[in-house]
Amino acid sequence: MMVTISLIKADIGSVGGHIMASNEILNLCKERLEEEKGKLLIDVYVTRCGDDVELLMTHENGVDAKEIHELAWNTFKEGAELAKEQGLYGAGQDLLSDAFSGNVRGMGPGICEMEFEERPAEVFIAFMADKTEASAFNLPLYEIFANPFSTAGLVLDPKLHDGFKFEVHDVKGSRKIMFDTPEESYDLLSLIGLTDIYAIKRVYKKSGEIAAVASTEKVNFNCWEICGQR
């Protein structure tokens, strides 16, 4: 079965400056997503990272699904209204439009999505950060998927031994390039070390199967997330 993991975040209001979203906002967002469990969504998890509300959803609708993005947008909008009622700092600051246009990309929230064929005992990890730059996960991704001193399986496991493909984005120039590792490891490092310009967006197995994805939304460079699957 093809499964999609969508992690969508937004700063919709914070207690005491850029500190954290209130428990009431988190509970509201969780309630709205829980209403869709067994219908639009398979499962949900709502948490916070700094002052960002993080909506983690699993579903079968694919990447950039309108109904998933609309659900997240409406949830954030309702949460922002509650933040205004509570007098929280920066209520709704990551929601840059009053109307949903079919996709939240470019509208303020950060997005991280990946679709894959679910395997037995499938495991994934979501890393979250706040107040970082676009390339915050460059080094961790390289260490996980390209450095055999960190990931011994790159040497020992036949499934990993062929290496991975890295999709690197120029977050200022709207360009991207692919690198094969280990063959082009030096070339990859020459770019991702320039952390103010280049960010790893996706990592693939050589077969084309997605292994990890990171948020590189250009509207706000303050928070970046990554979902990993190995």
Q: What domain range is 158 assigned to?
A: 123-229
Span 75-95, mean pLDDT? 94
Split at pLDDT 50, 70, 90, the class of 167 is very high
Q: Are residues 14 and 109 in the same domain?
A: yes
Per-residue pLDDT at 228: 54
What's the whole-model pTM score?
A: 0.90
Number of domains in the chain: 2
Q: What would the pLDDT profile of 48-74 be if each residue is shown by its tens digit?
A: 999 999 999 999 999 999 999 999 999
The answer to whether residues 151 and 144 touch, using CB atoms and an 8 Å cutoff, is: yes
Q: Are residues 173 and 192 in the same domain?
A: yes
Which tokens sit at 200? 């790893």
Q: Are residues 155 and 83 in the same domain?
A: no
* Final residue belonging to a domain, choices 93, 116, 139: 116
Distance of CA 58 to the CA centre of its chain: 13
Nearest Cα to 5, choosing from 56, 70, 50, 40? 56
Q: Are residues 106 and 13 in the same domain?
A: yes
Q: Are residues 48 and 112 in the same domain?
A: yes
* Final residue belonging to a domain, choices 74, 97, 116: 116
Paired sense of beta strands 223-229 and 124-130, if any? antiparallel
Q: Are residues 165 and 211 in the same domain?
A: yes
8 Cβ contact list (under 8 Å, min separation 6): 54, 55, 57, 69, 72, 104, 109, 110, 111, 112
Q: What is the CATH number of the domain that holds 76?
A: 3.30.70
Q: Are residues 90 and 141 in the same domain?
A: no
Mean pLDDT of the chain: 91
Split at pLDDT 50, 70, 90, the class of 222 is very low
* Final residue belonging to a domain, choices 94, 116, 138: 116
Neighbours of 221 (CB within 10 A): 18
The answer to whether residues 114 and 56 touch, using CB atoms and an 8 Å cutoff, is: no
